[in-house]
Structure 1
Amino acid sequence: MIEVHELTKRYGRTTAVNGLTFTVRPGHVTGFLGPNGAGKSTTLRMILGLNAPTSGTVTVGGQVFRDRPRGLRQVGALLDAHDVHGGRSAAAHLSALAHSNRIPAARVARVLEEVGLTAAARRRIGGFSLGMKQRLGIATALLGDPPVLLFDEPLNGLDPEGVLWVRGLFQRLAAEGRTVFVSSHLMSEMENTADHLVVIGRGELIADESLAAFSARGNRLSVTVRTPDAERLAPLLTAEGAAVRHEDERTLSVTGLPADRIGELAFQHRVLLQELATQAASLERAFMELTADRAEFLAGDPR
């Protein structure tokens, strides 16, 4: 279990993490989401004792992680797949870590097989693709057979088969009763993998709840309307109490008004409709709605 209480990290006048409190429980895949600059990586580094908090506490299994000997037996982590010695082979890299953490040497071959790198065990890591480095990073996290696992953007560089494999791996690890904490910007993967979410923005907690509960936050059905007369239709819909957003010159996204009523209004005012489609709620929609004012970097209007 990971317990974060009032965790704060400041760099001079910049507050990267501000009073975060949440718990990551065993038996679940917990997704860690937030816009760029939200403080996710800083939080993960404080969990692992790589950065010291300005205030607050974070414990793993009831203890501060940096105080634990032979850490790989307690927590496995993938933070940066490139952070390895390119001149070493995969087997040598894992063997050195196993020796320093008093992990049986047999675990090296076992985890290499589990991540699909047995054939590349003697190859130098410098020649690995990004996907292979991601697999090696996952092997490193699994090496000590730990009860707690942290992964930062573990799907970068993986092909579709690799994505399916990682999805199944995380779910299996959670089913074994382990604590699995996954930071990712891929909403579709969190929808398919996680069953609980911790969402932050600008270093502050936005949500700590089940995937279903979070997705339900964005459950307002929207209707996509495509028409060559969008400028005339939009105020008609607004007058009926709808919220209207222009996706482009011909496309409107409408909430607060059902598709049949939109169709009636268009017919009454002789507005040609080329598309009228109700859109279901999604995790991505809920995420965008809740973090819209918490993103550090916002793209400007290109027009």
Structure 2
Amino acid sequence: MPRPGRFRQRGGVIEAHELTKRYGRVTAVNELSFTVRPGVVTGFLGPNGAGKTTTLRMILGLNAPTGGTVTVGGRPFRSRPRGLRHVGALLDAGDVHGGRSALAHLSALARGNAVPRSRVHEVLDEVGLAGVARRRIGGFSLGMKQRLGIAAALLGDPPVLMFDEPLNGLDPEGVLWLRGLLRGLAAEGRVVFISSHMMSEMEHTADHLLVIGRGRLIASEPLAEFAARASRPSVTVRTPDPAALAALATGAGATVHREEDGACTVTGLSADRISELAYEHRVMLHEVTPRGSALEQAFMELTAGSAEFLTEAEPGRGAGPEEER
């Protein structure tokens, strides 16, 4: 939920202009230009290998661009000596010292960023880890480590927050909590930039989408407009008379594919229309289930052919862009 009265910083816009990153002959990010504005949750989507994580790392100054620029609040992030007071980020929940306690980990970050120690206890309480603050991080579950990473991002009370796959490891209660937290942070006027492969959650959380494929911008638009791109819904249908169903569906302009388990995938008709046709022609149905959301369908249609699994390693890291999510 928003915390009125505490947040004071403004102006943390993320701006990328022709941002490019190459690893040898492989171009992971290709002349990417976009703006992420405050006050909304911006989702960052793309197929595997699209360049999302590399882009986030360049925003934070962890990877140097081959070309182009990216700024936060009008300045490169590397130029800010107390980074957590300007940008809070969670890129890898497992990238913490397992021998430290949550309290010690956050306290060290607070000292290095001139953040009052009282904030450590505030964020631990906010993410639900106050009761395990003195436990070693090595014994934490993935969900607890995600909460700790979110606490670290919130520590400096920054105007810009970036999260890469923050839902990994969270139980349903944790997912609902994070959804509310992200919306509350945006309502306070912050930039909230979240990369995730979970379409259903993005549909419930994001207001605006940035979609990339093979390192290039494919779309930047409100979520509702993007979801409206879905043109051909797919529906799973189970029936004791698949031949009759197929004849009805194809006659109405749809395509029908028989699955190995006996189900039929009908593409080009809504679940309601399929049910109406079956009722009119006395074809019994056991199941009529839409496959994926409108957002997922639009994403698959728009990014078809954009998935790319890269294999060349980035110098000095031992792992290449194929790790992109």
Counterparts of 1:27-176 in structure 2 under 5 Å?
A: 27-176=39-188
Q: 1:38 to 1:133 in 2, by over 3 A?
A: same
Q: What SS does the aligned partner of 2:64 have?
A: coil
Q: 1:66 to 1:159 in 2, by over 3 A?
A: same
Give the whole-Å Cα distance in 2 for the aligned partners of 1:119 and 1:126: 16
Q: What SS does the aligned partner of 1:217 have?
A: coil
- Does the CA-based 8 Å contact 2:239-2:287 persist in structure 1? no
Q: TM-score, normalised by structure 2?
A: 0.82
Q: 1:57 to 1:232 in 2, by over 3 A?
A: same
User: Which residue in 2 is equivalent to 1:24?
Assistant: 36
Q: 1:228 to 1:117 in 2, by over 3 A?
A: same
- Does the CA-based 8 Å contact 1:86-1:125 persist in structure 2? yes
Identity of aligned residues (%): 70
Matching of residue 259 in structure 1 with residue 270 in structure 2: no
Give the whole-Å Cα distance in 2 for the aligned partners of 1:121 and 1:256: 53
- Does the CA-based 8 Å contact 1:228-1:250 persist in structure 2? no
Q: What SS does the aligned partner of 1:81 have?
A: coil
Equivalent pairs, count = 293
User: Which residue in 1 is equivalent to 2:300?
Assistant: 288
- Does the CA-based 8 Å contact 1:247-1:253 persist in structure 2? no
Matching residue within 285, 288, 294 for 1:274:
285
* Structure 2 residue identity aligned to 1:196: H
Q: 1:190 to 1:122 in 2, by over 3 A?
A: same
Deviation of 1:65 (Å): 0.6
Deviation of 1:241 (Å): 3.7
Q: 1:63 to 1:238 in 2, by over 3 A?
A: same
Q: 1:43 to 1:118 in 2, by over 3 A?
A: same
* Structure 2 residue identity aligned to 1:174: A
Q: What SS does the aligned partner of 2:31 have?
A: strand
- Does the CA-based 8 Å contact 1:259-1:278 persist in structure 2? no
CA distances 1:30-86 after superposition (whole Å, capped 9, x unpaired): 111112211111010001000011111111111111111111100000011111111
Give the whole-Å Cα distance in 2 for the aligned partners of 1:22 and 1:64: 15
Deviation of 1:288 (Å): 1.9
Q: Which moved more, 1:205-214 or 1:233-242?
A: 233-242
Deviation of 1:243 (Å): 3.5
Deviation of 1:232 (Å): 7.6
Q: TM-score, normalised by structure 1?
A: 0.88
Give the whole-Å Cα distance in 2 for the aligned partners of 1:250 and 1:132: 39
Matching residue within 11, 16, 19 for 1:4:
16
Matching residue within 150, 166, 181 for 2:193:
181
Give the whole-Å Cα distance in 1 for the aligned partners of 2:32 and 2:52: 11
Q: Which moved more, 1:176-185 or 1:97-106?
A: 97-106
Q: 1:240 to 1:117 in 2, by over 3 A?
A: closer
Q: What SS does the aligned partner of 1:91 have?
A: helix
Q: 1:157 to 1:277 in 2, by over 3 A?
A: closer
RMSD: 2.5
Deviation of 1:296 (Å): 2.3
Q: What SS does the aligned partner of 2:307 have?
A: coil
Deviation of 1:198 (Å): 0.9
Q: What SS does the aligned partner of 1:109 have?
A: helix
Deviation of 1:162 (Å): 1.2
Deviation of 1:87 (Å): 1.4
Give the whole-Å Cα distance in 2 for the aligned partners of 1:158 and 1:223: 29
Q: What SS does the aligned partner of 1:144 have?
A: coil
Give the whole-Å Cα distance in 2 for the aligned partners of 1:221 and 1:36: 23
CA distances 1:126-150 after superposition (whole Å, capped 9, x unpaired): 1111111111100100000000000
| Unpaired segments ≥5 residues, structure 2 | 1-12, 310-325
- Does the CA-based 8 Å contact 1:230-1:252 persist in structure 2? no
- Does the CA-based 8 Å contact 1:195-1:211 persist in structure 2? yes
Deviation of 1:286 (Å): 1.6
Give the whole-Å Cα distance in 1 for the aligned partners of 2:275 and 2:134: 64
